[in-house]
Amino acid sequence: MTVERSEILELAFTKAKQYEMRGGGCSQCALSGIFDALGVQNDDIFKAATGLADGVGLTGDGHCGALSGGVLAIGYFFGRDKEDFADMKKLVKGNLLSKKLHDRFVERYGTCRCYDLQVSFYGRFYNLYDPQEMKAAFKAGLLDTCSTLVGEVARMTTEIILYARERDGR
């Protein structure tokens, strides 16, 4: 039985959103949704994505962690191995696919910087290290908004990966 593309994309969205709602860490949640939808298990990459939440280190000062998770997934499928370090074609391919994700993200949300996304969604940035700010962020709807965004990024990334794999005949 063949799983339809639409089912794979919906699974990436649903799983990533569920992960974000359950435990946060947008980069890990997007990555996990993508990997679940594509049948990948890789705890090393999952673990390495830990510090990419809310920009970098929950600072808001960096691009969206979900975007980072998507880029990590693209690198997993299309990046170069250390033994292929001189393979510029793989370097370029991984970067072109990552740029495609970045461009889709910016087209949809107007920015990729976490701080700016929060300002766009809520009219302000929340310092997630401050318990009162965290509480205010949840009250403002951060969990629901971010979980949907994480799911959308997982879907976008999975679509890019599927098309690139088909083009490559894999």
In a domain, 169, yes or no: no
Domain with 46, as residue range(s), is 5-163
Q: How many domains does the chain have?
A: 1
Enter the pTM of the model. Answer: 0.94
Over residues 61-73, the pLDDT tens digits come to 899 999 999 999 9
Q: Residue 128 and residue 147: Cα distance in Å, rounded?
A: 16
pLDDT of 2 reads 61
pLDDT of 98 reads 97
Over residues 30-59, the pLDDT tens digits come to 999 999 999 999 999 999 999 999 889 888
SS3 113: strand
In a domain, 113, yes or no: yes
**Residue 92 burial class via C-beta count within 10 angstroms: exposed 0-12, middle 13-18, buried 19 and up:** exposed
In a domain, 93, yes or no: yes
In a domain, 145, yes or no: yes
In a domain, 168, yes or no: no
Q: Residue 138 and residue 126: Cα distance in Å, rounded?
A: 10
On whether the CB atoms of residues 157 and 74 are closer than 8 A, the answer is yes
pLDDT of 59 reads 87
Angle at 93 between CA 68 and CA 74, to 5 degrees: 30
pLDDT of 3 reads 75
In a domain, 124, yes or no: yes
pLDDT of 169 reads 78
Q: Residue 152 and residue 136: Cα distance in Å, rounded?
A: 24
